[in-house]
Amino acid sequence: MTLLLLMACSEYDYADIARNETFVQPELDGATDVLFVVDNSPSMEEEQERLQSSFEVFADVLSTSLADFRVGIVSTDVGEAGALRGQFDRDTPELTAAFAQAADVGVSGDREEQGLESAWLATQNTDFSREDARFNVVILSDEDDHSPASVSIYMQQFQRHAGASGFVLHAIVGDEPLGCVSQGSAADAGVRYIEAAESTGGYRDSICQGDYGEILERIGLQVAGLGDSFYLGELPQPETLEVRVDTVLIPGREQDGWTYEPDENAVRFHGRSVPRAGMTVQIRYQPLLGSPIDSGQ
């Protein structure tokens, strides 16, 4: 008989029957192209340095996946007509160093940054984006977009260009509604870029963060078709969660471990603990009685 521990101070009862859930980390089916659009206006020196120093996390995720990836860099200055500052793939020697050199786009660009237009020009004036590849754009800018067309028009153009493979835009920009300040630098709210990211299901984060490693890791995982979050079928007693990847017990911590995200009812992996393609994730926990049960489990 199931033993019920009735807790007067909780909305739920506890059960002593453990729940086991198993997931398999998927892998991207097909090629993926990632275009970084880096603001090269006079106020961007510190932000470019943060991007360069944080890129290793992104490169590590892609390099250890099976993704057929291509990475390119353009500036926000449309006077360059979308010309690539660099292009890289799995065979690029010293990928992180090569990216860092190309991402140093300088700070003498046009003050009227046009990131969306520059990305679109890159699709028209270069052979960077492949016809059969999922197309990803990552914007890094401390001002809002000043491109001539509406956000919806650009999104429609990118979607048509990507076709069935799909298109996603990610934004590392100033926070809404008033922007942000960090380490002596400031950023205006990236309203149009945030709208673009939200409309395509992309990630967004503040350009005022002292390190871009976390957001680049999440973008890299999505680009590679991998997930860092695994959603549970019932609400757990958090202290009973036990997480294994391919039978290896993973510690519950923010650095190279996992954390429980109550708002999403999910286990989220961090850093080197994120499962790679084909790995099996096993999560065991004591559920809270009264929580919904996933019929697929």
The three state secondary structure string of 75-108 is ECCHHHCCCCCEEEECCCCCHHHHHHHHHCCCCC
Q: What is the pLDDT of residues 261-277, one digit of tens each?
A: 999 999 999 888 888 88
Is residue 199 situated within a structural domain? yes
| Residue 197: both structure tokens together | 């990211």
Per-residue confidence (pLDDT) for residue 9, from 0 to 100: 40
CB 63 within 8 A of CB 128: no
Higher pLDDT among residues 239 and 5, named by residue:
239
Specify the pLDDT at position 290.
60
Q: Give residue 19's domain range.
A: 4-26+228-289
Q: State whether 59 and 145 are in the same domain.
A: yes
Q: Is residue 184 part of a domain?
A: yes
Neighbours of 86 (CB within 10 A): 18
Is residue 142 domain-shared with residue 265, that is, in the same domain?
Answer: no
Same-domain check for residues 107 and 52: yes
Residues 77 and 103 in one domain: yes
pLDDT score at 291: 54
Determine the residue type at 56. E
Same domain, 281 and 168: no
Choose the final residue of a domain: 207, 223, 239: 223
Q: Is the pLDDT of residue 244 over 80?
A: yes
CB atoms < 10 A from the CB of 94, how many?
11
Average pLDDT estimate for 174-183: 91
**Last residue of a domain, which of 171, 193, 223?**
223
Residue 295 lies in a domain: no
Q: What is the mean pLDDT of residues 153-166?
A: 95
What six digits make up the tokens of 138?
């990552």
* 210 and 279 in a common domain: no
Domain count, the chain: 2
- Tell me: do 200 and 248 sit in the same domain: no
Q: Partners of 36 in the beta sheet?
A: 73, 138
Asked if residue 281 is part of any domain, the answer here is yes
What average pLDDT score do residues 73-82 get? Answer: 96
132 within a domain of the structure (yes/no)? yes
pLDDT of residue 292: 54
Q: Which residues have C-beta within 8 Å of that of residue 32, sequence separation ≥ 6?
A: 67, 68, 69, 70, 133, 134, 136, 223, 224, 225
- Each residue of 1-42: pLDDT tens digit? 333 333 334 444 555 689 999 999 887 667 999 999 999 999
Question: Is 136 contained in some domain?
Answer: yes
Same domain, residue pair 214 and 101: yes
For residue 171, the SS3 value is: strand
Confidence at residue 3, expressed as pLDDT on a 0 to 100 scale:
33
Q: Are residues 46 and 185 in the same domain?
A: yes
Is residue 66 domain-shared with residue 147, that is, in the same domain? yes
DSSP class of residue 181 equals E
Query: Which range, 116-120, 225-229, 274-278, has the best average confidence (pLDDT)?
Result: 116-120
In a domain, 81, yes or no: yes
Q: What is the CATH number of the domain that holds 85?
A: 3.40.50.410
| Geometric angle at alpha carbon 61, from 198 and 49, rounded to 5° | 75
169 & 210 share domain = yes
Among candidate residues 198, 223, 248, the one where a domain is terminated: 223
Q: Is residue 297 part of a domain?
A: no
Rounded (10°) angle between helices 213-223 and 45-63: 40
What confidence score (pLDDT) does residue 226 get?
Answer: 86
- 8 A C-beta contact, residue 289 and residue 14: yes
Provide the pLDDT for residue 135.
96
Q: CB count, 10 Å around CB of 2?
A: 7
For residues 137 and 115, membership in a common domain is answered with: yes
Can you tell me whether residue 182 is helix, strand or coil?
A: strand
Asked if 141 contacts 185 with a C-beta cutoff of 8 angstroms, the reply is: no
